[in-house]
Structure 1
C-alpha cells in the first residue's frame, strides 16, 4: 500500500509540473522580427554588442574558451542509480556538465582520473548533487516539452531551436556564446517520453553558415558545438534535420533529439578539491585499481561495507576500510575503487612478468595425467616427410618405427618399444590391413610378420609400411643438408 501511494504522489507531482510548464514556459514569439535585411545578421547578438548587419558566413565559427579535451572529464558518463522506487536510471550528464563548468569558471583543474568514480566517493557525490540541481531548476522546461499529444507539436518544438529572433533558443545561445560564456543545454528526445532518456550537454560554440535564424532557407547549415559527457575528450557537432524535425550529432548520427533549450539558471559554484590519481613512477606501483561487481543482491551500506587488505611480501599489510563510504551499491553493477599504496612497490620487469605467467600455466604432461587412462600414453602422430623433403632428426634416428610410435617416451636404460603400449587403441587390424594392402591377404601378412592368425587380433607394424600402400620399404631419401 505504501508503494502505491508513493507512486500516486509521484504521478500527481509530475502532472503539476507539466501544468506549471505550460503556464510559465515562454514560447518564442514569431511576431518580433530582427532589424537586419534578409540574408544578414547582427555581428554580435548581445543586447549591447555590435549590431552591424553582416553576412552570416563572415562570422565563421564562434567558440568559447571551454575545451572539452582540457576542461571536460576524462571518463565517460556510465553511471547507474536507483533513486526512486527501484527504477534504474542511467547517467549523470547534468551533474557532469554543471561540475565541468564549475571548474571552468573558477579556474580549478578538473579531476584527471580516467576511471568512473565509485558510488559514495567525494567526486561521485559532487556530480550527483549537481545532477539534482540541474533537473530541479528546470522542471518547467522539461515539463513543457512533455506536453505533445500525438506528436502535434513536433514541428513547433523543432523550430524553437532554430529561431534566432524574438527570444528564440538560437538567439539565447548566440548571446551567450558571443559573450564567451559556455552554456548548458537540455536535449529532449523525439518521442516526448517523460522519463527520456533525455540529455544535458555544454554548448561551447556555433556556426551559422548561410542561415540567418529567420526559419527560412539554409537551416541545415547551422552547427552547434558541444561537450557531451558521454564522449570524453571530443567536441561534437549538433546539426538540424528539417525533413525529420530532429537534431542529431554529425559524428554520431544515431543520437537524435527533438529540440533543445538553453539553461540560463545555471549558477557557478566553487567545487571541492579532489585528489588526483597517484603519479606513476618508473618501475614502481603506486596505486591499485579494483573493479568490484555486485550480483543479484545490492550492498546496503551503513554497517554493510567493503573492506580490503593488501599484502606485500616483506611489508606489513595495508588496510583500506569502508571502500563504499557507507553508500549503497546497487545490484548488477561494477564499481571502480582506487587505493593508493603507502609505499611504492617495485614493478617486475616485462620478461619476469611473462616468465611468471608462463610458469603459472599447467604443463602438458600434467594435463595428460588428468585425462582418462586410455589417453594418457596415446602417442601423437608425427607426419612423414613429403616426397623431396629432407627428413627431420626424428626420422633419421628412428627410421624403423611406425610414425605412431616415434613419440613414445622411453624409460631410462630401455629401448624403444616395438609396438604400441598396452591398452592403447590398435592402429590397424588384420582384416582392415588386408583390404588396404594391394592384394595381400591377411594370412600372407601374418606369415610375413610371424603373427599367429588364430591368436589375439594384434599385429605388428611392418617395417616401412605406410597407410594404404603395399608393404614396401621407404623409398631412398635425399641426404639431409
Structure 2
C-alpha cells in the first residue's frame, strides 16, 4: 500500500538548498541546518501556514567571502529572522540525535536489518496514525560520523517495496525516495525517476515522531512567525454586467485583491489567480487569472491584482472565491489564508439563473471545464 500525508516538498518545503555554513564560537565551521529545516517545514505545515516563497537562486542572498571561500550563497544570512528560526530548531533537534552514533563494529548488514525489521515498521505505523517522522540518515562516507536529517511523510510497501518519501533539504522542491536495498548496499537515496540523488547512507532511524494534532514540547512552542507573501486586501467584485444589476451564471466576472510582502526579501510566484469552487464542489484554478504578470515583489511592497473571466458558472448557486498563487518552481497551488487574522481570505458570491429573453436566439455556451493544477 502507498500512503502519503498531506505534504509535498514542492508546495510545503523551502525553495532553497541547505547550503548553510555555521560559525561555532567564531572559529569552528559546520555545514548545514538540515534538522532545523525539516522541523521548520513540519511546523509550517502543521499550522497550515504557507512556506516563504524566497528562491535560493534569485541573487538576493549573495553570501560572503571567508579566506577566499564564498559561503552562505543562496541562503538567508546570519541573524536574519528566517535563519534564526531554522537555527534554533536545529539546536533542538540534537536532543534526539544520539542514534546517529554507532559502535565501530556496526556494519552495513546490521543497518540493513535495523531498517528492514525495526525502523520501517515503526515509520509505517506512525504515518498510518497521521504522524510525520524526523528521519535520521546515517552517512556511509568516511569522516562523516553523523549524517543527515530529513522529514518523512509517506511510505510504499506494495509489491515488495520498502520505500519512504522524504523532504530532503539538499534537494528543494523535489520528492526524494529512500528504498531499503541489499545487506551490502543498505539504502537507495534517489530522485523520483530512480536515479541516484548523489548521497550514500548506510541506514536510517526514527529520530522523532511528529504529531500535527498533538505536538510534543519541542514543536509546541515553535509556531512560525515569519511569512512573506500574504493577502493585504481581500476580494472585491466589480459590479454585475447585466442591466438588472444581478449576478447571473454565464456572465463575465472581474475580481480585485491585493498582496503584500511582509518578509525581509523578495517574494516569488509563477502566477496569481482566484480559485472558483462551484455549488457542486467542482474546482477551477484556471478561469480567473491575473491580467498582469507577477515578476516578484520587494520586501514591504504591495501589489494590486485584478483577475477577469469572460464567463463564470453554469449552474445557479453559491460560488466560493479564494485567491491563490502558484509556486515559482513547481506546479502547486497555494491558497491564501487568513494567516494573520486581518483579512478574510475567501468570499461567497451568489450567481442566479440566467434570464432567457423570448424570441432572441440563445448563443451556444460551452461550459468551462473546471480543472485544477495538482495540489499535491
* Mapped pair 1:103 → 2:50: no
**Residue aligning to 1:154:** 108
- Which of the two has greater strand per residue? 2
Contact 2:178–2:189, Cα closer than 8 Å, also in 1: yes
- CA drift at 1:249: 1.9
- CA drift at 1:95: 0.2
- Which of the two has greater helix per residue? 1
Query: For each residue in 1:277-327, what CA deviation from the matched residue of structure 2 results, as whole angstroms up to 9, or x when unmatched?
Result: 599xxxxxx99979xxxxxxxxxxxxxxxxxxxxxxxxxxxxxxxxxxxxx
Contact 1:246–1:256, Cα closer than 8 Å, also in 2: no
Contact 1:113–1:277, Cα closer than 8 Å, also in 2: no
Contact 1:81–1:88, Cα closer than 8 Å, also in 2: yes
The two structures have a TM-score, normalised by structure 1, of: 0.41
Query: For each residue in 1:21-50, what CA deviation from the matched residue of structure 2 results, as whole angstroms up to 9, or x when unmatched?
Result: xxxxxxxxxxxxxxxxxxxxxxxxxxxxxx
Counterparts of 1:262 and 1:287, CA distance in 2:
33
Alignment CA distance shift 1:259-1:192 (3 Å): farther
Counterparts of 1:127 and 1:261, CA distance in 2:
22
Aligned counterpart in structure 1 of residue 151 of structure 2, from 202, 206, 212 = 202
Contact 1:63–1:205, Cα closer than 8 Å, also in 2: yes
Counterparts of 2:175 and 2:300, CA distance in 1:
36
Mark the structure with the bigger radius of gyration: 1
Say which SS state the counterpart of residue 40 (structure 2) adopts. helix
Counterparts of 1:157 and 1:244, CA distance in 2:
10
Alignment CA distance shift 1:206-1:66 (3 Å): same
- CA drift at 1:260: 0.5
Counterparts of 1:178 and 1:226, CA distance in 2:
16
Counterparts of 2:302 and 2:127, CA distance in 1:
48
Contact 1:66–1:182, Cα closer than 8 Å, also in 2: no
| Bigger relative contact order, structure 1 or 2 (CA pairs below 8 A, ≥6 apart) | 2
**Residue aligning to 2:203:** 259
**How many residues of Structure 1 are paired with residues of Structure 2 in the alignment?**
217
**Gaps spanning 5+ residues in structure 1: where?**
1-58, 212-220, 280-285, 291-337, 345-481
Alignment CA distance shift 1:341-1:249 (3 Å): same
Counterparts of 2:172 and 2:125, CA distance in 1:
26
Aligned counterpart in structure 2 of residue 245 of structure 1, from 160, 164, 185 = 185
Counterparts of 2:81 and 2:263, CA distance in 1:
18
Spell out the pairing of 1:205-216 with structure 2 (5 A cutoff). 205-211=154-160
Counterparts of 1:125 and 1:185, CA distance in 2:
22
Alignment CA distance shift 1:66-1:86 (3 Å): same
The two structures have a TM-score, normalised by structure 2, of: 0.51
**Residue aligning to 1:472:** none
* Mapped pair 1:130 → 2:130: no
Spell out the pairing of 1:171-186 with structure 2 (5 A cutoff). 171-186=121-136
Contact 1:158–1:259, Cα closer than 8 Å, also in 2: yes
Contact 1:64–1:177, Cα closer than 8 Å, also in 2: yes
Alignment CA distance shift 1:66-1:289 (3 Å): closer
Spell out the pairing of 1:165-314 with structure 2 (5 A cutoff). 168-191=118-141, 193=143, 195-196=145-146, 198-211=147-160, 221-242=161-182, 244-251=184-191, 252-253=195-196, 254-264=198-208, 267=216, 268-269=219-220, 270-276=222-228
- CA drift at 1:89: 1.5
Counterparts of 1:265 and 1:223, CA distance in 2:
18
**Residue aligning to 1:90:** 31
